[in-house]
Amino acid sequence: MARIVVTVMLKPEILDPQGTAVRGALTRLGLGGVADVRQGKRFVIDLEGALDADREALLTKLAGELLANPVIEDYQLQVEA
């Protein structure tokens, strides 16, 4: 069993209105000094069996085609176990 975690974040230069709203809420709820909040996505993918090179290559490709839109998002792929 292999677990791959893909983290997707809006690129720094893309406005994140949801993050901005969360920042406002944190501040209203008493947290001082919130400079910035960015909201992203985390995909936890469990594969049957070990992660072979073919599946890893395909997953890496699909991370950039399906899970993230590289026009507006950066993504990171991490093999956990």
Partner 1 sequence: MSARIGVITFPGSLDDSDAARAVIAGGAAAVRLWHADTDLQGVDAVVLPGGFSYGDYLRCGAIARFAPMMGEVIEAARDGLPVLGICNGFQILCESGLLPGALIRNNHLHFICRDQRVRIEAGDTAWTADFAAGQEIVIPVKNGEGGYVADARTLDMLQAEDRIVARYQGNPNGSLRDIAAITNESRTVVGIMPHPEHAIDPLTGPTADGLAFFTSIVTTLAARVGA
Q: Is 5 in the site for partner 1 (CB under 8 A)?
A: no
Site for partner 1 in 16-55 (CB under 8 A): 17-18, 21
Task: List for the chain the helix, strand, coil content (%; round to 5).
Answer: 35, 30, 35
Which secondary-structure segment (H or E) carries 19? helix 17-28
Q: How many residues sit close enough to partner 1 to count as binding (CB under 8 A)?
A: 12
Tokens found for residue 55: 């599946």
In whole angstroms, the minimum distance from the beta carbon of 50 to partner 1 comes to 27
- Nearest-angstrom CA–CA distance, 80 and 44: 10
Instruction: Name which position in 12, 71, 78, 81 contacts partner 1 (CB under 8 A).
Output: 71
Binding residues for partner 1, per CB under 8 A?
A: 10, 13-15, 17-18, 21, 66-67, 69, 71-72
